[in-house]
Amino acid sequence: MFNVCYQCGQYRADKEIDPHGPAAICPECGYRHPFRMLPLLLVGGASGTGKSSLLQNLMGKFTQAVLLEGDLLWRPEFNRPETGFHDFFEVWLRLAKNIGQSGRPVVLFNAGMGVPENIESCVERRYFSQVHYLALVCDDQTLETRLKARPAWRESGGDEWIRGQQSFNRWLRESGPGHGVDLLETGSKGLDQTTDEAADWIRRHIEGSSDNH
């Protein structure tokens, strides 16, 4: 229960952060909770750009980071587009923060995680030294072909769904870099090349950070 103060017992996620400790300071009693302040790496992109395939190919290649699929925690009660799915992102950041106390940062794969405005407004964002964003992108035709090739139970081959994913994909390609999102093109590359480039991105950001504890 990282958000529960060990001194006064109050639950406060909105602790003040002293990055020089680093320490999380309880706003109720002033208790300074020392913790590891690690970076968080987020890999997003429209459905069909290759996130799941990339994650599976990266598994086992890193011992210095924990790689996780964001859909593992998805539940119907999180499906609230009117709030921007805020609760879903808060839960994931809280979990990543706690995993980080073991000394290894989290690399999280999920479509919406690649959009900074979904993350930077979260209360739990304060516990990470930096958040790095990578979006997988490809051309519209490749995206459509991949979505239509999926099994019927995934319901990803409908025209409305495809148009929505293409629109999201184009937004990331055109506006993502201006919002601090790195892009990785997957349409013209094989999975092994995409994996190598993603691994380099992950390794660069992990090795470039300091392990504060």
Please tell me the distance from the alpha carbon of residue 198 to that of residue 188, in angstroms, as a whole number: 15
If asked whether residues 92 and 159 sit together in one domain, one would say yes
- For the chain, strand residue ranges (E) read 16-18, 23-25, 32-34, 40-45, 66-69, 106-109, 131-137, 181-185
Is residue 90, in this structure, part of any structural domain at all? yes
Is residue 170, in this structure, part of any structural domain at all? yes
Domain assignment of residue 49, given as a range = 37-207
If asked whether residues 31 and 57 sit together in one domain, one would say no
33-47, 67-81, 132-146, 149-163: the lowest-pLDDT one: 149-163
Q: What CATH number should be reported for the domain holding residue 107?
A: 3.40.50.300
- Read off the pLDDT of each residue in 143-154 and give the average, rounded to a whole number: 87
Share of the chain above pLDDT 90, in %: 80
Number of folded domains in the chain? 2
pLDDT value, residue 152: 78
First-to-final CA distance of the chain: 18
Is residue 212, in this structure, part of any structural domain at all? no
If asked whether residues 73 and 156 sit together in one domain, one would say yes
Is residue 25, in this structure, part of any structural domain at all? yes
Is residue 47, in this structure, part of any structural domain at all? yes
Tokens 């750009």, located at residue:
49
If asked whether residues 133 and 151 sit together in one domain, one would say yes
Nearest to 180 by CA among 144, 138, 130: 130
Contact, 163 vs 116, CB < 8 A?
Answer: no
pLDDT value, residue 212: 46
pLDDT value, residue 213: 46
If asked whether residues 112 and 196 sit together in one domain, one would say yes
If asked whether residues 102 and 196 sit together in one domain, one would say yes
Please tell me the distance from the alpha carbon of residue 156 to that of residue 165, in angstroms, as a whole number: 10
- Read off the pLDDT of each residue in 180-203 and give the average, rounded to a whole number: 94
pLDDT value, residue 150: 85
If asked whether residues 125 and 135 sit together in one domain, one would say yes
* 166 Cβ contact partners less than 8 Å away, ≥ 6 residues apart: 46, 140, 143, 144
pTM of the model: 0.93
If asked whether residues 90 and 159 sit together in one domain, one would say yes
pLDDT value, residue 157: 77
Is residue 185, in this structure, part of any structural domain at all? yes
- For 35-148, strand residue ranges (E) read 40-45, 66-69, 106-109, 131-137
If asked whether residues 51 and 123 sit together in one domain, one would say yes
Is residue 213, in this structure, part of any structural domain at all? no
Is residue 85, in this structure, part of any structural domain at all? yes
If asked whether residues 2 and 88 sit together in one domain, one would say no
- The pLDDT tens digits of the residues spanning 86-130 come to 999 999 999 999 999 999 999 999 999 989 999 999 999 999 999
pLDDT value, residue 202: 96
Share of the chain above pLDDT 70, in %: 97
- Mean pLDDT of all residues in the chain? 92
Pairing of β 66-69 and β 181-185 = unpaired
Please determine, for residue 211, whether its predicted confidence score (pLDDT) is greater than 90: no
If asked whether residues 93 and 10 sit together in one domain, one would say no
If asked whether residues 23 and 65 sit together in one domain, one would say no
**Cα dihedral: 155, 187, 111, 75 (round 10):** 30
